[in-house]
Structure 1
Amino acid sequence: MIELYLIRHGIAEVATDNIKDEKRRLTKQGRQKTEKVAQRLKKLGLHFDCVATSPLVRARQTAEILVTAGLSSQMEECTHLAPDGNIHNWVVNWLEPKNFAPDTKLALVGHEPCLSRWAEVLVWGEGKERLVLKKAGMIGIKVPETGSPLGRGQMFWLTPPKYLL
């Protein structure tokens, strides 16, 4: 099984007329909280083979914090993790072609409601709008390394950041 860790970006600036959504950066508080979460994950012994991130600034900054904390040495931009990303396209165009080993651990840094919807599709085969992922929170799902993972995942972790601080 491949372990996927769906991680929502940290607290970011509010979109305004001067700051477009895709350019929003982590706030000072968002950066500090995300750094604390990353340090806690490291203390728990987590290490990701790759951190895939949405191309939006706040997600990239969150992914960079994970890498800087030593949770991974690889970071890759993945357009499928943008707010309008489609899980089916991600599976076919990103996950399956990479042919990951069974014990691979991947961090996917993105946005809500996309990540919680993805988690539902991976576990239940469809979005049910039941899961909520807080900023800097994480959902862990084990998926089979072969065949479509949709509806075949096993959730093993759902935690808001307050339980990691």
Structure 2
Amino acid sequence: MNTLYLLRHADAEPGRSYDDDRDRPLTEEGYHDAGRLGQLLAATDQLPDGIVTSPAVRARQTAEALSERGQWQVEVPLRSSHALYQAQPADVLEEIQALSDERRAVLLVGHEPAWSTAVSQLLGSANVSLPPGTCVRIDTEAPSWREVRFGEGRLRWMLPPTLLR
């Protein structure tokens, strides 16, 4: 079994202040939300063994705040993937299928509208909407990441940041 965490980046500054949408940073609340999620993942022994993030500043800051503010005692490899910025659900699935089978639990950080749709499609008949900072855990019985398909995931939990405040 593989475990997939899909996290929509935490609360970010409004886009009107930035020439390039990719440059938008997290708000202070977004940092706190990501840190609280990081603490929860550590406290419940659900740390990923790899993180893949969109290269957008707010997504990367979300990923970094998980471990830094969550005070993880282990270093989790983090890499950026341009495919996760302005992604379509098929791009998200392709990124999942390209994961190394050495990783058993991976966290992906990305954006709307792809994230809600990708989660919905991974689960099959779900209709999911992810507010900023919401994390979803999906388990899959696929023997390898490259065999993960839409409609075959099992929702374990969905956690909006408001439940951790």
TM-score norm. by structure 1 comes to: 0.84
| Structure 1, gaps ≥5 residues long | none
The sequence identity of aligned pairs, in percent, is: 28
**Compared with structure 1, are the counterparts of its residues 67 and 145 closer, same or farther at alpha carbon in structure 2 (3 Å cutoff)?**
farther
Alignment of 1:19-58 (within 5 A): 19-58=19-58
* 1:81–1:72 CA distance, 2 compared to 1 (3 A): farther
Whether the aligned pair in 2 keeps the contact of 1:8 and 1:135 (CA below 8 Å) is yes
1:6/1:139 contact within 8 Å kept? yes
Q: Which runs of 5+ in 2 are unaligned?
A: none
| Alignment correspondent of 1:81 | 84
Residue 138 of structure 1 pairs with residue 135 of structure 2: yes
1:86, CA displacement in angstroms? 2.8
1:19 is displaced (CA, Å) by: 4.1
For residue 16 of structure 2, give the secondary structure of its aligned residue in structure 1: coil
Aligned amino acid, residue 139 of structure 2: K
Cα shift at 1:20: 2.5
SS in 2 for 1:16: helix
Q: Could you tell me which amino acid in structure 2 is paired with residue 163 of structure 1?
A: L
Report what 1:3 is aligned to: 3
> Hey, what's the Cα distance between the residues in 2 that align with 1:114 and 1:72?
28
Check 1:148–1:10 CA distance in 2 against 1; reply closer, same or farther (3 A cut).
closer
Question: TM-score, length-normalised on structure 2?
Answer: 0.84
Aligned equivalents of 1:145, 1:54: Cα separation in 2: 26
Aligned to 1:104: 104
Q: What is the CA-CA distance between 1:51 and the residue it aligns to? A: 0.8
Distance 1:54 1:41, change over 3 A: same
Give the counterpart letter for 1:76 in structure 2.
Answer: R
Q: 1:58 to 1:162 in 2, by over 3 A?
A: same
- Counterpart of 1:67 in structure 2 is 67
Indicate how the Cα distance of structure 1 residues 72 and 37 shifts in structure 2: closer, same or farther if over 3 A, else same: same
C-alpha RMSD of matched pairs (Å): 2.1
Deviations 1:20-44 (A, max 9, x none): 2110000112112221221122112
